[in-house]
Amino acid sequence: MEASEKLTIQALKAHDKVHPKFKSSGRSLKQKSRASLLSSPEDPAEGKSKQDDGTTTRRSRTMSTSSQSKKSEPAQGRPGITFFRIVAATRAWQRLAKKKSSQPPAPNKPLVQLENTYQLEPDYNTVFVPKKAENIIQETFNSRLQQVKYDSVRSKILAKDLATIINRKMKDLDIPRYKTVSSVTIVENKGQGLKVATRCVWNTTTDNYATYSYTNQSLIAIGHVHAVYYE
């Protein structure tokens, strides 16, 4: 290699260290003198300087690209609650409330008006029949008390359940304008005598009652059904 070429290469290297962005001239000259450089042995100091130059150029390029990417990213603002948004929401709510208040109310359903029947007595075919109530009490006792033994604790619950069943069956008869009251009394069977009395204030022409007593070896059950006509 000639001395003039060595001097130009060294001058270009020094220029690249000061201005690393402008390396196009140095690369063109290096490409032209590539054959001559391969033929001559390189100095290790020059190789180190080349590596240093490469690192500086790479670092400068990475720094420039990162700065450009940061500049290109758009600024994202957070949608916080501001005074203007609160005012806008309040006005929108006021307009909606005003619109609803201006609408006519929904029409109410007309009330069903019932006239008085002035019916003080039941019809002949819808009168309470005591025999039907006695049959209901008898069927209930026969199906529920055949295998039952008297117990002072369980008899209270049993009497309440039997009265509820009898009253439900009386409602199935569908007697209009009648209210029924059912009651059951259970006592232990010791061969003693027993008498149960009831007293009511009612209309003897329309109101009535039915009763039935059941006995087995352990207990005695007495059922009552009172039917009152409701005007």
Q: Are residues 132 and 58 in the same domain?
A: no
Q: What angle do CA 58, 63, 69 make, to 5 degrees?
A: 125
- 203 contacts 229 by C-beta, under 8 angstroms: yes
Q: Are residues 46 and 129 in the same domain?
A: no
CATH of the domain at 213: 3.30.1140.40
Q: Are residues 202 and 130 in the same domain?
A: yes
Residue type, 198: T
Q: Is 70 within a domain?
A: no
Q: Is 13 within a domain?
A: yes
- 187 contacts 220 by C-beta, under 8 angstroms: yes
Encoding tokens for residue 218? Answer: 């352990």
Q: Is 87 within a domain?
A: no
Residue type, 90: T
Q: Are residues 224 and 129 in the same domain?
A: yes
Q: Is 144 within a domain?
A: yes
The edge-to-edge listing of strands for the beta sheet with 208-215 is: 178-188, 219-229, 208-215
Domain count of the fold of the chain: 2
| CA nearest to 180, candidates 147, 151, 209, 140 | 209
Q: Is 76 within a domain?
A: no
Q: Are residues 129 and 54 in the same domain?
A: no
> How confident is the prediction along the chain (231 residues), in pLDDT tens digits per residue?
565 666 567 666 665 665 555 444 444 444 544 444 444 444 444 444 444 444 444 444 544 444 444 444 444 445 566 777 888 888 888 888 888 777 777 777 777 777 777 888 888 888 899 999 999 999 999 999 988 999 989 999 999 999 999 999 999 998 988 999 999 999 999 988 888 888 888 888 889 999 999 999 999 999 999 999 987
Q: Are residues 222 and 143 in the same domain?
A: yes
Domain boundary among 64, 84, 112: 64
SS3 category, 208: strand
For the entire predicted model, the pTM comes to 0.50
Q: Is 97 within a domain?
A: no
- 183 contacts 127 by C-beta, under 8 angstroms: no
Tell me the DSSP string of 126-180. G---HHHHHHHHHHHHHHHSSS----TTHHHHHHHHHHHHHHHHHHHT--TTEEE
* CA distance from start to end of the chain: 136
Q: Are residues 214 and 137 in the same domain?
A: yes
- 160 contacts 168 by C-beta, under 8 angstroms: no
Domain boundary among 64, 91, 116: 64
The H or E element that residue 211 is part of is: strand 208-215
Q: Is 214 within a domain?
A: yes
Residues 124 and 208: their CA atoms lie apart, in Å, by 14
Q: Is 12 within a domain?
A: yes
Q: Are residues 136 and 52 in the same domain?
A: no
Which range marks the domain in which residue 136 is found?
124-229
Domain boundary among 64, 88, 104: 64
